[in-house]
Chains A and B, each alone.
Chain A
Amino acid sequence: QKEVEQNSGPLSVPEGAIASLNCTYSDRGSQSFFWYRQYSGKSPELIMSIYSNGDKEDGRFTAQLNKASQYVSLLIRDSQPSDSATYLCAGDTNAGKSTFGDGTTLTVKP
């Protein structure tokens, strides 16, 4: 079992819909969680970070964390074709160990 599992894609949503990306982790030492977006041929770029249970909103993006269930999610509202990319979930322990999921590829269709 991978330490960080993401829902297998690819995920396709129509423009304007909500895209839901999910991630579970096995290391209970993980304290900080990050979502990165990676366009094809490019490097990952940070879009959200979340450290405590609950929701964190930033524009069209909402990250959710539930440490009891070891679950992290990213919601993208009003999805745009420019959101089409691979989304990587990552968890960091306080010791600095960082583990990435394999990513979920999202396609937003006009």
Chain B
Amino acid sequence: KAGVTQTPRYLIKTRGQQVTLSCSPISGHRSVSWYQQTPGQGLQFLFEYFSETQRNKGNFPGRFSGRQFSNSRSEMNVSTLELGDSALYLCASSADRGMGQPQHFGDGTRLSIL
């Protein structure tokens, strides 16, 4: 069974630009969550999608948005990039959340803002 696939693996952008990251979950998984990981802040929850609906949301500004498609693939968009957005963005999928189902992480997208 293929794991969680995130693309691209690396991305370099400049301040003010926008970026879209993609995540394909494990087949059959309907829940996709996004996290931001930085050395100083650890793993921070961005949002979770289940069956194309945002079900949970972390404390990030509105510049961070996402969506999920009918095949459970998810995208995350960050607009008006800031230097502080440089981080590893991780996607995790699970069969469902809140039912004791563990999350399985992709390799992440490392975003660098110049």
Contacts and interface: CB of A to CB of B under 8 A. Distances in A.
Interface of A: 31-32, 34, 36, 42-46, 49, 51, 88, 90, 92-103
Contacts of A100: 35, 42-43, 45
Given A34-B103, A95-B98, A98-B97, 14 more contacts: A34-B102, A43-B108, A44-B90, A44-B105, A46-B102, A49-B102, A90-B103, A92-B97, A96-B55, A97-B56, A98-B33, A98-B45, A98-B103, A102-B43
Contacts of A43: 90, 105-108
B72 interface: no
Contacts, number: 58
B42 to A, nearest CB: 4
B100 interface: yes
A95 B56 contact: yes
Contacts of A99: 45
A53 to B, nearest CB: 14
Given A43-B90, A51-B100, A95-B98, A101 B107 contact: no
Top 9 A-B pairs, shortest CB-CB distance: A96-B97, A96-B98, A102-B42, A43-B105, A100-B43, A32-B100, A94-B98, A46-B102, A44-B105
A34 B43 CA distance: 14
Contacts of B97: 92, 96, 98
Interface in B100-114: 100, 102-108
Nearest to A51: B100
A45 B105 contact: yes
